[in-house]
Amino acid sequence: DAGITQSPRHKVTETGTPVTLRCHQTENHRYMYWYRQDPGHGLRLIHYSYGVKDTDKGEVSDGYSVSRSKTEDFLLTLESATSSQTSVYFCAIRSSGGDHYEQYFGPGTRLTVT
Amino acid sequence: KNQVEQSPQSLIILEGKNCTLQCNYTVSPFSNLRWYKQDTGRGPVSLTIMTFSENTKSNGRYTATLDADTKQSSLHITASQLSDSASYICVVSASGGSYIPTFGRGTSLIVHP
């Protein structure tokens, strides 16, 4: 699992409330990613980070923000949760290794917005 | 636009049988292609990774092939087991840039006893 943990693992929240999901890694990888996974869509990139304080948007970034104040932690925030953000969220890291780099995923966070 | 298409969308086979999953991609310039296995309720786990110069890679009963000319890959599962029931995801990365891979939607495999 490349030392990736996500918290919380499950969360139920109400529409309009802020939510923060945390991804923590123990192996000092530079690249970290947040994905959401929904039936029929596969994994879609929300935001990614290529270093401390260096982040960029993915294909489904609207309604989400991220922060990375230290190498090991990458936070995903839903400023005002909506029902369309009900999903399973996965954090991932990219290992080094040229063209043979690997992407390792965390265990996921199941978020339900009611 | 980079795209990865997988087929079939779902597949049901009997334990002990073989099966082949397909992946077609339009990612360019090509860097690598990976196959992941995702069990229900868990994160994806890498099975194989192939670069341009590799056309076959095995991991136990899983064998992936790559035809970079036709931009096609396949994942062959031999002597299937009940534990092979999962979603199999094809992921293709372009070289250079920001290492943003393109994901297929996956093939859901169910192995029945």
Q: What digits encode the pLDDT tens for the residues B50-73? A: 998 899 999 999 999 999 999 999
Neighbours of B89 (CB within 10 A): 27
- The residues near B75 (Cβ < 8 Å, ≥ 6 apart) are B20, B21, B23, B35, B47, B48, B62, B63, B64, B88, B90
User: How far does B95 lie from chain A, in Å, by closest CA?
Assistant: 8
Residue-level pLDDT at A1: 58
**Nearest residue of chain A to residue B88 (CA atoms):** A42
CB contact under 8 A, A104 and B49: no
Give the mean pLDDT of chain B: 94
Q: Which of A31, A101, A108 is nearest residue B43 as measured by Cβ atoms?
A: A108
Give the gap in angstroms from C-alpha B42 to the nearest C-alpha of chain A: 5
pLDDT tens column, B5-33: 999 999 999 999 999 999 999 988 888 99
Q: Provide the H-helix boundaries in chain A.
A: none
From the list B47, B51, B58, B19, the residue with the least C-alpha distance to B33 is: B51
- Are A99 and B42 an interchain contact pair (Cβ–Cβ within 8 Å)? no
Per-residue pLDDT band at B97 (split at 50, 70, 90): low
- pLDDT given for residue A100 in this prediction: 73
Across the interface, whether the CB atoms of A101 and B32 are under 8 A apart is answered yes
Q: What is the band of B95 on the pLDDT scale with cuts at 50, 70, 90?
A: confident
Contact residues, chain A to chain B, C-beta under 8 Å = 1, 31, 40-45, 48, 50, 56, 58, 90, 92, 94, 99-108
Q: In the structure, what pLDDT confidence band is assigned to residue B2 with cuts at 50, 70 and 90?
A: confident
Q: Could you check whether the bond before residue A8 is cis, i.e. omega within 30 degrees of 0?
A: yes
Please give the average pLDDT of every successive group of 10 residues along chain A, which has 114 residues: 89 97 95 94 93 94 97 97 98 82 93 98
pLDDT at residue number A41: 87
- Say what the pLDDT of residue A75 is: 98
